[in-house]
Amino acid sequence: MSVKLARLGFESVHAIDDDPKMVEKAKAKKRADYRFPVFYEMDMRKIANNFEPESFDAVICFGNTLVHLLTHKDIDRFIGAVSEILKSSGSFMLQILNYDHILNSRIDQLPVIENEEIRFERFYGFRKDNLIDFRTNLTVKSENLSIDNLIQLNPIRGNEIVKLLEKHNFHDIKLYGDFKMNPLEVDSLPFVLHAIKR
């Protein structure tokens, strides 16, 4: 996404990931003659320690990333850091899954993603500590390779996110059910949010 934004002409694009391998993969996609994006190996909770206050017009957190923060305190810290590095009237854009729908309907499997190259299966296991076990199986067809993974996710509800945003000086909070900005419905699987810092 950061490479695409730079190619579209955004003048200053910075991207973070706490996995050094992912940072290296992203760097490999960047054109050598482009100044941006700049990639950093960084914990998302520490962005305010690494960027100047009020230095960004927008912060984007897509790909269901937020729910990898396993405590309410960590999510609160991240949203506070986003507010700190955003300029006044800056945009925060967030995409996760709609965990209200997932929790209320006890959805234990997400739609399979499949094309000629891969098959990606995703399963949820509901835990007593309110986290979710997220189990995946990725099949790389050309290599006849199957990769299993299990991690925990924090299924935060929409109203909890809105409260944290309001706490950290965001307003004009809009919720959508997809990237086309259709309304968020009870049974929407995506949860897309746009908020403005005061």
Asked whether residue 21 falls in the same domain as residue 90, the answer is: yes
Q: What is the mean pLDDT of residues 178-191?
A: 97
**pLDDT value, residue 183:** 97
Asked whether residue 149 falls in the same domain as residue 159, the answer is: no
Contact (Cβ atoms closer than 8 angstroms) between residue 179 and residue 194: no
> What is this structure's pTM?
0.93
In the chain, DSSP assigns E strands to 14-17, 38-41, 56-61, 86-97, 109-114, 118-126, 132-140, 145-153, 170-176, 190-197
Q: Which of 22-26, 65-69, 116-120 has the lowest mean pLDDT?
A: 22-26
Structural domain range at position 117:
105-153
The label of the residue with tokens 């850091």 reads 81
Domain CATH number, residue 139: 2.20.25
**pLDDT value, residue 84:** 98
Asked whether residue 130 falls in the same domain as residue 65, the answer is: no
Q: What is the mean pLDDT of residues 97-119?
A: 97
Asked whether residue 148 falls in the same domain as residue 164, the answer is: no
Alpha carbons 154 and 157: distance in angstroms, whole number? 9
Contact (Cβ atoms closer than 8 angstroms) between residue 140 and residue 147: yes
Contact (Cβ atoms closer than 8 angstroms) between residue 22 and residue 52: no
**pLDDT value, residue 83:** 98
Q: What is the mean pLDDT of residues 18-39?
A: 89
Asked whether residue 29 falls in the same domain as residue 90, the answer is: yes
Contact (Cβ atoms closer than 8 angstroms) between residue 184 and residue 175: yes
Beta bridge partners of 102: none
**pLDDT value, residue 22:** 93
**pLDDT value, residue 33:** 76
The number of folded domains in the chain is 2
Contact (Cβ atoms closer than 8 angstroms) between residue 189 and residue 97: yes
Asked whether residue 60 falls in the same domain as residue 137, the answer is: no
| DSSP designation for 44 | G
SS3 of 127-178: the string is CCCCCEEEEEEEEEHHHCEEEEEEEEECCCCHHHHHHHHHHCCEEEEEEECC
**pLDDT value, residue 14:** 95
Q: Which of 30-34, 97-101, 122-126, 154-158 has the lowest mean pLDDT?
A: 30-34
Tens-place pLDDT, residues 147-182: 999 999 999 999 999 999 999 999 999 999 999 999
What sign does the dihedral 137-140-141-145 (CA atoms) show? negative
Asked whether residue 96 falls in the same domain as residue 27, the answer is: yes
Q: What is the mean pLDDT of residues 39-61?
A: 97
